[in-house]
Every structure is written in structure tokens, then in C-alpha cells.
Amino acid sequence: MVVDDSVVIRGMISRWIGAEPDMEVVASLRTGLDAVNQLERFNPDVAVLDIEMPDLDGISALPQLLAKKRDLVIIMASTLTRRNAEISLKALSLGASDYIPKPESTREATAAETFRHDLIQKIRHLGAKARRSTVHTAVSPPLAPGHDKPRTGLAPTAAPVQVARRSFGLLQPKVLLIGSSTGGPQALMTLVAEIGPVIDRVPVLITQHMPPTFTTILAEHLARTSKRPAHEGIDGESIRPGQIYLAPGGRHMRIVRHGIDATIALDDGPPVNFCKPAVDPMFTSAIDVWQGSIMSVILTGMGSDGMRGGKDIVAAGGSVIAQDEASSVVWGMPGAAVNAGICAAVLPLNQIASKLVRVFAGDRS
């Protein structure tokens, strides 16, 4: 279901989706009110929901849509303004599955093609997970009275996945590197709220697949949630313990040695793994600075970004922790790391922080 007050945007998105063999547009609507009123009639798996619309805007329609269909995948679409970035991140906390920035001008071929690729991938992966969850729910035995089933992707008590795993590196980690994508903002908020002792001990560097402006807002949220300084990385700045550094949207964040200091180097090169910023450049560049004293975490996200860099970290003597499938919005990035056999642990999101605190305190069992 495509919901946008622009007839041009509705038509463009509908044509793109209609060209995919595994998707179809069941409704193209102008306002959030139309979407709420006609949800039962069309019963979509996924809704692409604009933020700014007459009658009922996207952020107001979101909870009403989820109240009517709890497992509806909602992708918020907005232009790249600070206000819309704030609203998009708020929407994630209210139950939206993801967001996508709309190009300022659909006449620019590159911007439109990037938008098309990202949107189709998000619809395909998020919609597929929702369908699998629906099938699983339909065949699951009923729960005991008084026990509510957790929402898709949020399994707080899931047991760790049992996989053949590597041992943690022998060296005491001197840095924590985190990579994430789809579902990442909420996962990052959960994680940084609980790793205060780690942040106080070492620097924390994060690459989240996200456009400019959005990363500015995310850094502010991370600072409030962690109660530690957090900001977008600045080219040439020294990296210090007690700080969270976030790769700015549209630029890769690498780490380089400058004298006795580790410093940030921002890279305006081409996308890596279709992403900019990408996780692999951060992971790989860190090895030249910290060798095997690296702890890395790969959180929820589409694709395989972070897997190759994670291999390099492990080969240098460092360690990788991956988020498990049950607690991931999309198990692409962490799943690729698990399947590559490079992980020292595969854990539900709510168990990663406590594991990190123990590892940085010296427990590498």
C-alpha cells in the first residue's frame, strides 16, 4: 500500500513495485486517513507511508494502522530535513519497521535510482520476514493464559543461538566497533544504554547505514540515551575513550594513526556494499591502529556489510559478536558473519551489552 499526497511520487513508486515479479501494489492512497479507513479492505503486507500529508499525517496514522494490523510492515518515507529525520526516528520507536529518505528531485536520475533500489530491497526483506512470522504464528501452539506473544523481531528472552564459534581474542580490546543497518537505530539505543562501563574504558565507533541529517539526529539520541558524549566523526579528530563516534551520513569513517593518536579520516569515495557510510572500511582500517585488540559487533541489517571487515579483524586476533536472528529486524549482516564462521558469540540483542561489559572487564570465556 503506497500512501503519499504527491500523485507523482505515488505513481513512480507504484510503477517500480509493479515491475517486481514478487510484489504488487494493492492500493495507492493520498492521505493517512485514507490508509486507516481502507486498511481492512486492502489488507497489505507492507505500507510505504509519507510523513507530510493532509487530513492525517504519517506519524499520526502510524499507531492507528498498527492498532488495526499489528504485523503490518510500515516504511516511513520523507525528504531530508531535520524535522523529518526527527519524526522518522520517532516513528521507529512507535513501531515503524524502517524509513527511507525521498530524493529532493525525482528528475535527478542517480538519486531516483538509489531511492528505487533501497525501497525495493526494504520492501522485499521486511515483507518476507513479516510473512514468515505470520506463518510461524499460525502454526505455533497457543501460549499459556496470561502470556502475551512478543512482537515480531523483539524476542527479549530468546536463548542464544548454538553455533560453532571461535574463541574470543586473547588481547584486551582497546576499542569497540559497531556496524548496523535496518533496525539499527533502535538496537543501538538499547545497546548504548547498557554499556556505560565499556564506553568509559574505550572509544566506541559506530557505522549505521543512514543518510546525512539523520546521522546528526541519531548522534544526539545516542548521547541522551548513553549519558556519554556522542557526535558524528570529524575528519582529523583524535579518538578518545569515553566518547561515541558515529559515521556521518554520506561519508565512510576510517581510522588512521597520526603520531601516537588514533584519528578519524572521513572518506568521500564510492559506496561499499551499496552503502555510504559502510561498515567494512571502518572495520578494516581499525586493524592498522589496534591490530588484534578490537572488539566488533554486527547488529541487525540487510546485506552483508561488516562480514569481510569482520574476517580481517578475526584474522588479526580480534573478535566479532553478532546479533541473533530472532531479535534482528533483518538478519542479513549478522547472518552473513555467522555463516562465515567468524563469530565468538551470537546473542539476542538484550544479552550483547552484558557480554561486552564482561569481555572488557577481562572475561573472554
Active site residues: 181, 209, 305
| Torsion over CA: 195, 199, 204, 208 (sign) | positive
153-172 burial code (b ≥16 CB/10 A, e <16): bebeebeebeeebeebbebe
Query: By three-state DSSP, how is residue 5 classified?
Result: coil
Can you tell me the distance from the alpha carbon of 217 to that of 39, in angstroms, rounded to the nearest whole number?
A: 32
354: left (phi over 0), alpha (psi -120 to 50) or beta: alpha
H or E stretch including 294? strand 294-298
H or E stretch including 29? strand 28-29
Nine-digit cell string for 107:
528528475
| Torsion over CA: 350, 351, 352, 353 (sign) | positive
H or E stretch including 46? strand 46-50
**Do 218 and 89 touch, CB atoms closer than 8 A?**
yes
Can you tell me the distance from the alpha carbon of 214 to that of 98, in angstroms, rounded to the nearest whole number?
A: 13
CB atoms within 10 A of CB 214: 24
Query: By three-state DSSP, how is residue 351 classified?
Result: helix
Query: By three-state DSSP, how is residue 49 classified?
Result: strand
Distances (CA, A) of 160 to 183, 193, 323, 364: 19, 21, 9, 17
Query: By three-state DSSP, how is residue 230 classified?
Result: strand
Can you tell me the distance from the alpha carbon of 315 to that of 304, in angstroms, rounded to the nearest whole number?
A: 18
